[in-house]
Amino acid sequence: MPGYQTHLAGGAIVFAATLVCIVPYAQPTVLTAGEWLLFALAGSLFPDIDIKSKGQKYFYWMILLLLLILTYTKRFIPLAIISILSTIPLISKHRGLFHRAWFVIVGPLALWYVMSLHYPFVKTALLLDMTFFIAGALSHLWLDMGLRKMIRI
Q: What is the mean pLDDT of the chain?
A: 89
**In whole angstroms, what is the distance from residue 93 CA to residue 98 CA?**
9
Residue 18: pLDDT above 90? yes
Say what the pTM is.
0.84
Residue 103: pLDDT above 90? yes
Q: How many CA atoms lie within 13 A of 125 on its CB side?
A: 10
Residue 47: pLDDT above 60? yes
Q: What's residue 96's pLDDT?
A: 83
Average pLDDT over residues 90-104: 87
**Which residue would you say has higher pLDDT here, 2 or 100?**
100
C-alpha dist (Å) from residue 114 to 7, 109, 120 = 28, 9, 10
**Domains of the chain: which residue ranges?**
4-52+93-152
**Of 1, 5, 56, 28, nearest in space to 132 by CA:** 28
**In whole angstroms, what is the distance from residue 78 CA to residue 152 CA?**
43
